[in-house]
Amino acid sequence: MGRVEGKVAVVSGGASGLGEASARLLAREGASVVIADIDRTNAERVAGEIGAAARAIPLDVTSEAQWSSVMADTLALWGKVDILLNSAGIVIIGSIEDLTLDQFRRVNAVNLDGTFLGCQAAFKAMRPAGTGSIINLSSVAALIGTPPNIAAYTASKGGVAALSRSIAIHSLTNGLEIRCNCLHPGSIRTPMLLNALARDVGPENVDNALVEMSKSEPIGVPDDVANIVVYLGSDESKFVNGAQFVLDKGFSVL
């Protein structure tokens, strides 16, 4: 307990999935947490269940103005921003042959543009102290290109990984202690995965699809990612910058 005691974290996409699990664990380990999400109802639910250490703030990650407001509200509440987790994301099923340009742009607007805007806003909030931890969620899909029916998602997450490296180098060469690291989760049992399966095989077949899926690749739980988020948000990782963490139980190196 207390691994991030006294720190202030902003979690985009904190109303569900990996963001929710990470926000809850950060709070249990002593952080004050902003649940920033376009889903106001679930953001308020999560914040209410966490208690006094959490606040829900509406956020459309594609809006530069809303990102600025989230950071300003966080500074007004707790006076600083120590951690940013960019976990908001969407997926649209479609290969290179059947994906539309509008779909491609929509996925990249949320996953890549949203991450860029979050990093930029957090960097501005962290710059006066010169310290902080930015944690970006990419995906194993960005490393291995599979499955091929999520081409826009894969491309967006590849951009997130490259952006993370650029931010890390920028910080290092400017003598700052604002670290930026990137996570590449494999298949994790989240609402995003379950909803994608439901669209693919039908809601009534999701459980069977998960069983079949688990025969060929490991399926993790959100806390498998949240544990690494807490590590990267804590001072335990003060020498970790520009790193890429693959969280897939070895699937990507088979």
Which residue has tokens 């310290």?
131
CATH of the domain at 172: 3.40.50.720
Asked whether residue 254 is assigned to any structural domain, the reply reads no
Tell me, yes or no, whether 210 lies in a domain: no
Tell me the average pLDDT across 186-201.
Answer: 86
In a domain, 18, yes or no: yes
Per the structure, how many domains does the chain have? 1
Residue 214 neighbours by CB distance under 10 Å: 12
Bond before 185 cis per omega within 30 degrees: no
Confidence of residue 192 (pLDDT cuts 50, 70, 90): confident
Residue-number span of the structural domain to which 165 is assigned: 8-186+221-247
Does the residue 192 lie in any domain? no
Query: Nearest 5°: phi and psi at 220?
Result: -90, 180
pLDDT by residue (tens digit) across 67-107?
999 999 999 999 999 999 999 999 999 999 999 999 999 99
Q: What is the pLDDT of residues 54-78, one digit of tens each?
A: 999 999 999 999 999 999 999 999 9
| Span 130-178, pLDDT tens digits | 999 999 999 999 999 988 999 999 999 999 999 999 999 999 999 999 9
Does 240 reside within a domain? yes
- For 11-41, what is each residue's pLDDT tens digit? 999 999 999 999 999 999 999 999 999 999 9
**Mean pLDDT over the full length of the chain:** 96
Active-site residue numbers? 153
Identify whether 211 is part of a domain.
Answer: no
Cα–Cα distance measured from residue 162 to residue 5, given in angstroms and rounded to the nearest whole number? 30
Q: For 216-229, what is the mean pLDDT?
A: 95
pTM: 0.95
Does 193 map to a domain? no
Taking the mean position of all CA atoms in its chain, how far away is CA 29? 18
Q: What is the spatial distance between Cα 66 and Cα 59, in angstroms, rounded to a whole number?
A: 6
Q: How confident is the model at residue 182 (pLDDT cuts 50, 70, 90)?
A: very high
Distance CA 8, CA 1 (A): 16
pLDDT at 209 (0 to 100): 83
What confidence score (pLDDT) does residue 206 get? 86
Whether 252 is in a domain gets the answer: no
How far apart CA 50 and CA 18 sit, in angstroms, is 15
